[in-house]
Every structure is written in C-alpha cells, then in structure tokens.
Amino acid sequence: GQQVMQIPQYQHVQEGEDFTTYCNSSTTLSNIQWYKQRPGGHPVFLIQLVKSGEVKKQKRLTFQFGEAKKNSSLHITATQTTDVGTYFCAGNPGAQKLVFGQGTRLTINP
C-alpha cells in the first residue's frame, strides 16, 4: 500500500546548526503536509504544499515539494532549542486521509 518514508529517524545537532529531514513517497502525492510534535504533545500542522516544485518559507523553516510530487524536505536554518521535537511529513495520495512518515526526532545541544 501507500508508503511514506522519512529520514533520518533521529538527528542531534548543536544549537545554531542547520537541520534537514527528507520524505519520499512510493506513489505520486496530491499534496503533502508537515507537522511538528513536541515531546509529550500532539502533532501540530505546520504547512501544506500542493504544487510541483513548490517552495515555502516560515521564518527559519524552508519546505520543498519535489517536481514529481513524490518527495519533500524540511530545512531549518540555525536551529534553536525551541525547534526540539519530532517532525512528520504526511502525504495525501488523493483520498481524504494522510499517510504519515515515521518522523524525524530532532534534539538540540544548547
């Protein structure tokens, strides 16, 4: 069935370093969403990408959707301790449901 693979599973960085997580789908996606889950919390929506090749920015966060609409990435510039958490991509294969990646857990050394 539909699978969304996300790498890396874990990432530990020094505060101020950059961070990137990658998402790959086994099939073409209608759109992709990104969520952040703080430790002990629940997933919170960050952004949705719909168009092929789309790039969106939120302050230090840059989101990209691949040309083939099968992959996506989230890049954080100059991480801060508030960025700690698990970042999930969630692909929409065309139905109303989302298929979540396994998530990338980001920890930061202050």
Min CB(33)–other proteins separation in Å: 7
* 51 is a contact residue toward other proteins (CB under 8 A): no
Q: Interface with other proteins by CB under 8 A: which range of 53-61, 64-72, 73-81, 92-100?
A: 92-100
Residue closest to 32 by CA, chosen among 103, 99, 105:
99
Name which position in 98, 104, 106, 108 contacts other proteins (CB under 8 A).
98
Report the DSSP pairing between strands 10-14 and 104-109: parallel
* 48 is a contact residue toward other proteins (CB under 8 A): yes
For other proteins, give the closer residue by CB, 33 or 64: 33
- Name the residues that contact other proteins, by CB under 8 A: 30-31, 33, 41-45, 48, 50, 88, 92, 95-103
